[in-house]
């Protein structure tokens, strides 16, 4: 006999974009900014879907909407930058999350790094990665990238995204 879970007064919802968004608002995630050099200049976006995929070889993944303004550059480039943001960078995360923002204008501090990738200053850590795959996933693409080089020596505590807001860790 199979046990029936006690759902109390709550009624489960059928799968939908709203259900997925509601559930993942409850999932705290680290905040990263992905950057690339596009034909018209640098591009970038805030990502909470960053995942380590393999240690040997060092691989990571992230998702990007095919409707995102950064997608044309990400779809065509060989290299991207991955930046782990600190809790002091809530404004930077918001800038890179906002559609139509001048993401690389003042006060964003950045430089051209290895492979021509835009590298943000003041982050907890950054990587330059070579894209090795772009996998269709609904209205997104899952990008698979191999780490080429990076710097893990920034100081501070990580920035998190939870319940639609950027937050720091609490002790």
**Predicted local distance difference test score (pLDDT) of residue 1:** 58
- C-alpha closest to that of 116 among 73, 61, 157, 159: 73
6 has a pLDDT exceeding 80 = no
- pLDDT, mean over the chain: 94
Model confidence pLDDT, tens digit, residues 49-82: 999 999 999 999 999 999 999 999 999 999 999 9
Q: Identify which has the larger pLDDT, 77 or 6.
A: 77
The pLDDT score that the predictor gives to residue 10 is 84
3 pLDDT band, cuts 50/70/90, is low
pTM, entire model: 0.91
Contact 120, 83 (CB under 8 A): yes
Give the whole-angstrom CA distance, residue 145 versus residue 134. 9
Percentage of residues in the chain with pLDDT exceeding 90?
85
Query: Given this model, what pLDDT does residue 7 score?
Result: 63
| 20-49 pLDDT, tens digit each | 989 988 899 999 999 999 999 999 999 999
Cα–Cα dist 21/27, whole Å: 10
What residue ranges in 48-139 does DSSP mark as E strands?
51-54, 59-65, 79-84, 110-112, 118-120, 125-137
């Amino acid at each position: 006999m199979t046990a029936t879970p006690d759902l109390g007064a709550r009624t489960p919802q059928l799968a939908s974009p709203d259900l997925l968004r509601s559930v993942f608002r409850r999932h705290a995630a680290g905040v990263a900014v992905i950057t690339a050099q596009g034909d018209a200049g640098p591009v970038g976006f805030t990502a909470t879907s960053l995942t380590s995929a393999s240690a040997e070889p060092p691989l990571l993944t992230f998702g990007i909407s095919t409707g995102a303004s950064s997608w044309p550059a990400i779809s065509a480039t060989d290299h991207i930058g991955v930046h782990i943001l600190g809790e002091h960078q809530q404004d930077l995360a918001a800038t890179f999350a906002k559609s139509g923002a001048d993401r690389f204008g003042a006060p964003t501090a950045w430089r051209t790094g290895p492979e021509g990738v835009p590298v943000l200053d003041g982050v907890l850590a950054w990587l330059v990665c070579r894209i090795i795959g772009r996998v269709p996933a609904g209205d997104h693409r899952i990008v698979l990238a191999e780490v080429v080089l990076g710097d893990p020596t920034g100081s501070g505590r990580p920035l998190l995204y939870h319940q639609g807001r950027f937050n720091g860790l609490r002790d």
